[in-house]
Structure 1
Amino acid sequence: MKALEKSIYAEFEVCQAFNKIILSNLGSYDGTKKEQLKSFLEDLQNGGCMSGMISEFIYHADCKKFYIEHLDDLENIREDLEDSLGEPVKNRHRMPHYTFMCWLCFEEYCFEIYRSHFE
């Protein structure tokens, strides 16, 4: 899917894992691939990972494993995000750092795709 390849974060290997998660969720949406992607991204914007819609990131143990596998990329995405915002991103819900990082980076990656392709 072209939209997933054109992300400003595409240079990070973790995005391949993010793309697999996105693509595995599209089947539950109607329409063309592009319409499915838009609906999925809109649902994510409404509920976020906190809603439980991303099965890979429901349990802290799964997030911890994912974080350890992709630690450098996730921390670099957070740094890029903080640079663009001009301030640190806060873990307001006081989640374990690894869960916070998985949710933050996945949501940012998805929101960036939405902004660049559907707004």
Structure 2
Amino acid sequence: MKAFEKSIYAEYQVSKVFNKIILSDLDSYDGTKKEKLKSYLEDLQKGGCICGMIGEFIYHTDCKKFYIEHLDDLENIRYELEDSLGEPVKNCHRMPHYTFLCWLCFEEYCFDIYRSTFER
């Protein structure tokens, strides 16, 4: 999908896994592929990973496994985000670091796709 290529995070290997997660969830939406993507990304922006809409990131044990597999990419995405914000990103819900990083990076990746594809 061309929208994935527009992300500033596309260089990270974890983005390919994020893409698979997104694509696997699009069938539950109506419309063209682009319309489905927009609806999915808007739903995620409303509820975030904390609402449980991303099956791969519901349980802490799944997040821990994912974090260990993609540790460098997830930490580097966080550093990039903090650099762009000019301040540290806080774990306000005091969840385990690995869950926080999975949610943060997935949501940021999706928001970046939305911003670069639908906010012109």
TM-score normalised over the length of structure 2: 0.98
In the aligned structure 1, how far is the partner of 2:117 from the partner of 2:13? 21
In the aligned structure 2, how far is the partner of 1:6 from the partner of 1:12? 13
| Residue number in structure 1 paired with 2:113 | 113
In the aligned structure 2, how far is the partner of 1:87 from the partner of 1:113? 22
Q: Once the 2 structures are TM-superposed, how far is the Cα of residue 6 of structure 1 from its aligned partner?
A: 1.7
| Residue number in structure 2 paired with 1:53 | 53
In the aligned structure 1, how far is the partner of 2:58 from the partner of 2:117? 27
Q: How many residues align?
A: 119
| Residue number in structure 2 paired with 1:29 | 29
Runs of 4+ in 1 over 4 A off after TM superposition: none
| Residue number in structure 1 paired with 2:103 | 103
| Residue number in structure 1 paired with 2:65 | 65
In the aligned structure 1, how far is the partner of 2:45 from the partner of 2:68? 25
In the aligned structure 2, how far is the partner of 1:5 from the partner of 1:26? 17
Partner amino acid, structure 1, of 2:113: I
| Residue number in structure 2 paired with 1:88 | 88
CA contact (8 A) 2:60 2:96 kept: yes
In the aligned structure 2, how far is the partner of 1:111 from the partner of 1:73? 17
